[in-house]
Structure 1
Amino acid sequence: MIKFGYTILYVADVSKAVEFYTSAFGLEKKFISPDNDYAELLTGETALAFISRELGHANLKEGFVPSRLADKPFGIELGFVTTNVSEVIESAVSKGAVLVESPKEKPWGQTVAYVRDIDGFLIEICTPVG
């Protein structure tokens, strides 16, 4: 059996990423390494984690493409579900997120909006489906 355990974002500064996600979205820190190269947040069964770009380069001999606000977002997103999309968007933007798409109601009744975090990763903020 296999279990989805982590989504790990390669970030410029692990401590700043943790600070952003805890203050913008109210998530709690689970663990941060003594050298600030790796951290996890309490997000339920699957962890949201961060690794420094330096450690990422050490782990991947061929390197990787870093996420940057100046570039278009990758074709992947984090999804946070809430009953108050506008409130979460306002909090995130006040902590440094960049609004990409304002809240819109989808034909199936879900409200969806998009921001980018301080490292440029795309985040969907939405109400529950159905």
Structure 2
Amino acid sequence: MLKYTYNQPTQFEYDLAGYTHRRCEMQFGYTIIYVSDVAASLGFFERAFGFSLRFLHESGQYGELETGATTLAFAQQDLAHSHFAGGVLTAQSATQPLGVEIALVTTAITEAHQQAIAHGASELAAPA
């Protein structure tokens, strides 16, 4: 399922009569991770990586962090089940890491790695 929000200045034009296609000027806006506890997930990324809370819905089911040009967001797993008819694979039910990587960029790799572990991250691999 492809889900997107159309905002200006994104432009998309398709002329059925002439089959013309103008390039879609798209920007990557959000990565939304479905979790069992939105507040705990936001709190971990705030403490472990120094991100600031941008938004937390009053229901507590959705929140965003200040992460730069692309928003890192967390949503309650129940929302995922309402968006995807067949449900979703959750990280808690997987015996291996999910096939998705969130890459955070820093020049202080070792310190960031140690800070993440100190705040509850599980080490999958040490920095190379």
TM-score using structure 2 length = 0.77
Q: Which SS does the other structure have where 2:91 is aligned? A: coil
The number of residue pairs the alignment matches comes to 104
State the SS of the aligned residue for 1:81. Answer: coil
Matched, 1:87 2:111: yes
Gaps of 5+ in 1: 105-130
- How far apart in 1 are the matches of 2:119 and 2:93? 15
1:8 is aligned, of 16, 28, 32, to 32
CA RMSD of aligned residues (A): 1.2
CA drift of 1:46 comes to 0.7
TM alignment of 1:9-24, pairs within 5 A: 9-24=33-48
- Which amino acid letter does the alignment assign opposite residue 99 of structure 2? G
Counterpart of 1:23, as a letter, is: R
What does 1:1-130 align with in structure 2 at a 5 Å threshold?
A: 1-68=25-92, 71-104=95-128
Shift of the 96–46 alpha-carbon distance from structure 1 to 2, 3 Å rule, reads: same
TM-score, reference length from structure 1: 0.76
CA distance in 2, matches of 1:87, 1:7: 25
* Higher RCO (CA < 8 A, seq sep 6+): 1
Q: Using the TM superposition, give the Cα deviation of residue 9 of structure 1 relative to its aligned residue in structure 2, in angstroms.
A: 0.4
**What do residues 36-81 of structure 1 show as CA deviations (whole Å, max 9, x unaligned)?**
1101101111100001001111222211111128620112200111
> Of Structure 1 and Structure 2, which has the larger fraction of its residues in strand?
1
Structure with max Cα Rg: 2
